Amino acid sequence: MKYLVFLLCIGAVLAGCSAVSNKDTFRQTDSAGAMELMESESGYLILDVRTQAEFAAGHIPGAICIPNETIGSAPIAALADKDQLILVYCRSGNRSKQAARKLAKLGYTNIVEFGGIIDWTGEIVS
């Protein structure tokens, strides 16, 4: 009897652990995948999460800059639509992953993190 209770408890724990939640998640792709999305989608936003100085030195055309360090728990006025496709990048991919995670926790539902501008083969403006 104790063995049966033990197995039921283990089963309940494992069932709870295996449940996948879409909350606080984001998708990932590479630069080529991001370019494809930019060609096939409309109404998206390109989000550069580097510093203002890095952004000014060169960024993807049409991108807006919201530094990763400024993303916290407060709503972001420039990102009013939480269901809008947001393509996030930084220099190498580290800060963009952090920012994407933070945005997901804030309730944004359509985030695609695509790494760093160092891998970008498209146009860069300054």
125 secondary structure, DSSP code: B
Q: Report strand pairing: 64-65 vs 45-48.
A: parallel
Question: CA–CA distance from 40 to each of 12, 59, 86, 113, 114 (Å)?
Answer: 43, 21, 14, 17, 16
Which residues are tagged catalytic? 90
Q: Which residues contact 50 (CB under 8 A, 6 or more apart)?
A: 59, 65, 67, 68, 90, 91, 95, 117
